[in-house]
Amino acid sequence: MLASASAAAGVAALLPGRLKPKPRADLLKRLATAAALWLRHVRDRRPFQYVVGNEHWRDLVVAVREGVLIPRPETEAVVDMVGKVEGFEAGCWADLGTGSGAIAVAVARMLGSEGRVFATDVSEVAIEVARLNVQRYGMQDKVEIRHGSWFEPLEDLKGKLMGVISNPPYIPTEDLPGLQPEVGWHEPKLALDGGKDGLEHLLHLCEGLSSVLKPGGFFVFETNGNKQSEFLVDFIRTKWDSSFRDVEAVLDFADIKHPCHLEEETNILNNAFLC
């Protein structure tokens, strides 16, 4: 009986400590901090994703912070198109201008044991956040983050890539002042400004495709809408008619033509390389 009573006393002594509520002052401090963050969000039109440090995108919780573009729902269509490419699971892919790394991680999670994603970005902040998201989902063996502008960090992968993915800056410079404050005041201009007509980076990407894609390779990028997409489709068909086939603009979730995708003809490059 003494042993049982002693044990009961011991349990009774532990419970109050475990159930002890946080001091009122601590709770009030936490509430004040939350209120200050919400006030900053409302007053400064700061994106809520930057306030909490995350964005729910696809089936991911993506870490974001100022200096990195917040991933949009329409960009999910890019990942969906990759999943429709025959044999994509075993291929090597490049995500150019990876930003938060959301696309790279989403694609990597669909790949097989041989598949890889090489994600590039010129922004050091983006590189840091992308690495964080790669680690968050344990994709270190699938995704390699490389610092540099567009194709520059991919010299060793020329002619070896199954596909190239990109959501580049495509907003015309003159349109930037008209963006809603949550975007124009806070999201990085580097990830938004597409130059005079919004096509500066998109055209650069088109120019570099043949050097990195292997025969039969696939390319998909996001654009600023119907007019821009249709221009690019016509441009590619006119300038590289003998190099690419199946060039088309694809509607996003809002029935706006955003991404274009194309395949490189298999008889253009002399050598095919496997990763």
- pLDDT tens sequence across 55-65: 999 999 999 99
Contacts of 120 (CB under 8 A, 6+ apart): 94, 95, 96, 97, 98, 145, 146, 147, 148, 149, 150, 151, 152, 153, 154
Spatial neighbors of 101 by CB under 8 A, at least 6 apart, are 62, 95, 119, 126, 129, 130, 131, 132, 133, 134, 143, 145
Query: What whole-number percentage of the chain has pLDDT above 90?
Result: 59
Percentage, residues of the chain above pLDDT 70: 82
Tens digit of each residue's pLDDT (9 = 90 or more) over 203-255 = 999 999 989 999 989 999 898 877 888 888 888 888 877 677 777 777 654 55
Please compute the mean of the pLDDT values over residues 50-77 and round it to a whole number: 95
What do you get for the CA distance between the two ends of the chain, in Å? 72
The model's confidence at residue 182, banded by pLDDT at 50, 70 and 90, is: very high
Output the six-digit token pair for 91: 């291929």
Band (pLDDT 50/70/90 cuts) for residue 275 is very low
pLDDT at 194 over 90: yes
pTM: 0.80
Q: What is the pLDDT of residue 243?
A: 75
Question: According to the 3-state scheme, what is the secondary structure of 145-156?
Answer: EEECCCCHHHHH
Range 49-75 average pLDDT: 96
Question: Would you say 265 and 242 are in contact if contact means Cβ atoms under 8 Å apart?
Answer: yes
The answer regarding whether domain 68-274 maps to CATH 3.40.50.10420 reads no
Going by DSSP bridges, is the β-strand pair 54-57/60-63 parallel, antiparallel, or unpaired? antiparallel
CB 122 within 8 A of CB 149: yes
Per-residue pLDDT at 142: 98
